Structure 1
Amino acid sequence: MGRRARVRRAVTTAALLAAAVMGSLATGCTARHDQAEDGRGGQGQTQEQPPTPAQSPRRAGPVLAVKIDNVAPARPQTGLNAADVVYAEQVEGGLSRLMAVYATTLPSVVGPVRSARESDLELLRQFDRPTLAFSGAQHKLLPLIDAAPLTAEPPDKKSAAYFRGSDRTAPHNLYLHPRRLLASAPGADALTTGFRFGPAPAGGRTETSRTVHYPAARFTFTWSARRHGWQVAMDGTPTVTTDGKQLTPPTVVVQHVTVRTSRLHDVLGNDTPYTETVGSGKAEVLRDGRVYDVTWKRPRAAAGTQFTTADGTPVGFARGQVWVVFTSER
C-alpha cells in the first residue's frame, strides 16, 4: 500500500473514532438530561409528567371551623346555612354540639359560638392548618389545642372578631365575625374531607324521614322533594336560622362511630365523650329521598373519610351542604 493510501486510511479511521466518541458523549448527555427532566436523576420532572401530590403547591388557604351551640336557648343559630359541612357530635349530658366548616362562603355573622372538645382535634386533622373559632375549652385541653396543627382563635386572642348579642343570655350569646379571622373564603379546594360529589350510587331504598337519637338530643331529617333536600329538625323543632331559612341539606350522612369516655370532664363533673373519627364502620347516606347503606373508612387522622358501597364503589354526594351526624347507635 502506498504512502498516500496509508495516510487516507489513518485520517478516515480517526474521523470515525471521533464521530463515535462524540455520539457516545451526546447519548450520555441526553440520557442524563432525560433522567433529570423525568425525576430519575433527582432534578425534577418534565412538563408532561405532573408533580406528585406531595410536591404540588397548596392552592387553597385554611377552612374556618366554628363550634356552635345547639341547646334550646341557643336557637335559632346564625350563619349555619352558609356552612359547607356541618358535623353533629355528642357532648356532656347526652346533649349535642355542632361544628360548622366554611370554605366557599364566609357569612357576616356565625353563632352562638361555644367551647371545643378533644375529639375536634382529630376531626380537624383532615384539613391543612384550619382556623378554629371557639369560646374556650377545659383547661387540660388547652395545651392540646396549642400543640395541634391548627390556628386557634378564641375570644381572648381575637377579641375584635367576637361580640355578645343582646337578645339572649350568656353563654348562648357569643357571636363571630368570620371575616375578621379570614380575609376571604379559601374555596372548595380547601375541603379535604374525602367527600365525592356526583351521581347517586345504584340501589338504595326509599326513605322520607330518618331520626338519630342521642341520650338527651335528637336529629330528624325529612325529605322535601320541592326543596330537593332533607329538612332538619332538632329535638322535634324545625331548624330555622335567624334569617328565617330552614336548613335543608341535599346530603346527610349518619356515621356510626365509637363514642367513648375521654380523660376530661365539664365544670359539673360530667364525663366528656370522645368521638372516634379515625377507623372504619358502617354509615347511611341520605340523598334524593333514598338511603344507601355504605362503609366509611378513614385510615389516619390526616386523611379524609371515604364512603363506599358494598362492592367498593365510591359514593357520590349531592352538590350542596353536607351534614354528618356521628352516632354510637348500632
Structure 2
Amino acid sequence: MPRGLLVLLAAAALLTGCAGSGTRASPLTGTSAPADAPVLAVKVDNSPAGRPWTGVEDADVVYVEPVEGGTTRLLAVFSSRLPASVGPVRSARESDVTVLGAYGRPGLAFSGSAPELAGTLAGASLVPLTPQTAGDAFRRDGARRAPVNLYADPSALLAAAGGATPPRDIGFRFGATPAGGEVVRHRDVTFGTAELGLTWDAVRGRWLVEPGGGDPAVPATGGEPIGAATVLIQRVTTRPSAIRDAAGAVSPYAVTTGGGEAEVLRDGRAYPARWSRPLPTDPTAVLGPDRLPVSFAPGPVWVLLVPVDG
C-alpha cells in the first residue's frame, strides 16, 4: 500500500477511534479527551506585565499572534481540560476570527474589542464571551492593575456559551517521529520587537516556552514549566487591519489562509514544511518536502504565527 494512503488511513483512525466510553482521540492533541467537550478560546495577554499566565498550561492549542507595536498576544484553545481560572484576558483582534474559522463554532472569551470589529465578531461562527455577555464568569484581580487584571472561569464561560461545539479536524496529524529532520535543542523566534525562545527538554518531552527569550514560563499557580509537545512555526504575511488600539496604533492582520513556509519542532528535531489553507473554514495542511503530512507528537501544540518579515 502506498505510504501516502497509509498515513491518511492512520490519521483517520486516530481521529475517529475511541479511547473508551465517552472519549476519543482529540483532533487538537491526538490524546484521549471527552468526545463532546466544547471548544473555548481565550485571548490572553503576553506582555511582561501580564505574565505569569494563569491557566495557559492546560490549553490544547496556543496561538501566538502578532499585534500592534511588534508585540504578541496568545489565543489559548481549551477542550480536553479546563483550568479553574485563565488570564489575564485581553481584547480580540481580527486575526482571531480567521484562526478560529476551522473550529466550527467555539466560544471566544475576550475583554472587549475596537468598535470597528464588533460587526465582524457578531457575524462570525463563534460565541462571543465578554464581561458584558458573561459577566459572572469574569473577575478582577485586586493585586494587579488594569488592563492585565481580568480573569475568567472557563467552566462558567462555557455555561454561558450555549451552542459552542466540540473540536473537529483542524488539520493536525499525530503519529510517530518522522524520519530525518535536524537535531535542534533551541530556537529563538522573533515577532517584530517581541521574541519567544523554545528549548527542548528531553526529560519532560516538551519544548519549554521562554517569553521574551528569558527563563521558561511557569504558571502563576506554580508547578511545571509550560511547554508544547509540538511547535508549528507558521510564516504568515500581515497587512494593516482597520482596527486600532486605544493608543491609535494599527493592529496587523495575520493572514492564515493561502499558504507559506513552516517548520515543525517535535522530539528535539526540526522538520521543514509548508502550510496551506484555502478558506477560513478549512483545516490547515502541514506537508513536508515529500508532500505528505508532517506528523505532530501527541500532546499540546503551540502555533507561532510569525510575520514573514519578522
Give the structure-1-normalised TM-score. 0.79
Q: Which residue of 1 aligns with 2:233?
A: 254
Once residues 286 and 63 of structure 1 are traced to their aligned partners in structure 2, the CA distance between those partners, rounded to angstroms, is 25
Backbone CA RMSD of aligned residues: 2.0
**SS of equivalent to 2:228:** coil
1:97-131, CA deviations, whole angstroms, 9 ceiling, x for partnerless residues?
00000011111100000000011111111011110
Query: C-alpha distance in 1, partners of 2:84/2:94?
Result: 28
Partner residue of 1:239? 217
1:62 corresponding residue in structure 2? 38
- Write out per-residue CA displacement over residues 269-320 of structure 1, whole angstroms, 9 at most, x where no aligned residue: 1111000001111100000100000111111110111111111111111111
Instruction: Indicate conservation of the 8 Å contact 1:106/1:184, yes or no.
Output: no
**Structure 2: stretches of 5+ with no match in the other structure:** 1-34
CA distance in 1, matches of 2:125, 2:52: 32
Aligned-partner Cα distance in 2 for 1:132–1:314: 29
In structure 2, the residue corresponding to 1:182 is in which secondary structure? helix
Deviation at 1:200, TM superposition (A): 2.0
After TM superposition, give the deviation of residue 192 of structure 1 in Å. Answer: 2.7
Once the 2 structures are TM-superposed, how far is the Cα of residue 83 of structure 1 from its aligned partner?
0.2
Q: Is residue 175 of structure 1 aligned with residue 157 of structure 2? A: no
CA deviations on 1:54-80 (whole Å, 9 max, x unpaired) are xxxxx7453100000010111101000
Please point out which of 93, 113, 134 is paired with 1:158: 134
Contact 2:116 2:242 (C-alpha < 8 Å) held by counterparts: no
**Counterpart residue number, 2:202:** 225
Question: What is the CA deviation profile of residues 206-236 of structure 1, one whole-angstrom value per residue up to 9, with x for unaligned ones?
Answer: 0111111122211000011111111110112
Once the two structures are TM-superposed, the CA of residue 193 in structure 1 deviates from its matched residue by 1.7
Moved over 6 A (4+): none
The one-letter code matched in structure 1 to 2:306 is: T
Provide the C-alpha distance between the structure 2 equivalents of 1:150 and 1:319, rounded to a whole number of angstroms: 26
Deviation per residue, 1:150-170 (Å, 9 max, x gap): 110111111100000122111
Unpaired segments of 5 or more residues in structure 1? 1-58
SS in 1 for 2:130: coil
Instruction: String of CA shifts for 1:236-293, please: whole Å, max 9, x gaps.
Output: 2221111223112111111001011112211211111000001111100000100000
**Number of residues of Structure 1 aligned to a counterpart in Structure 2:** 272
Partner Cα separation in structure 2 for residue 316 and residue 278 of structure 1: 21
Query: 1:81 maps to which residue?
Result: 57
CA distance in 2 between counterparts of 1:157 and 1:184 reads 8
| Distance across 1 between alignment mates of 2:58 and 2:38 | 17
**How many Å apart are 1:173 and its aligned residue?**
0.7
User: Of the two structures, which has the highest relative contact order with CA contacts closer than 8 Å and spacing of 6 or more?
Assistant: 2
SS of aligned partner of 2:116: coil
Once the two structures are aligned, what percentage of the paired residues are identical?
Answer: 45
User: Any idea what the Cα deviations from partners look like across 1:181-211, whole Å, max 9, x if unmatched?
Assistant: 225999x961432101111222111011111
Equivalent in the alignment of 1:17: none
Distance change >3 Å, CA 180–CA 247, structure 1 → 2:
same
- Secondary structure at 2:178 match in 1: coil
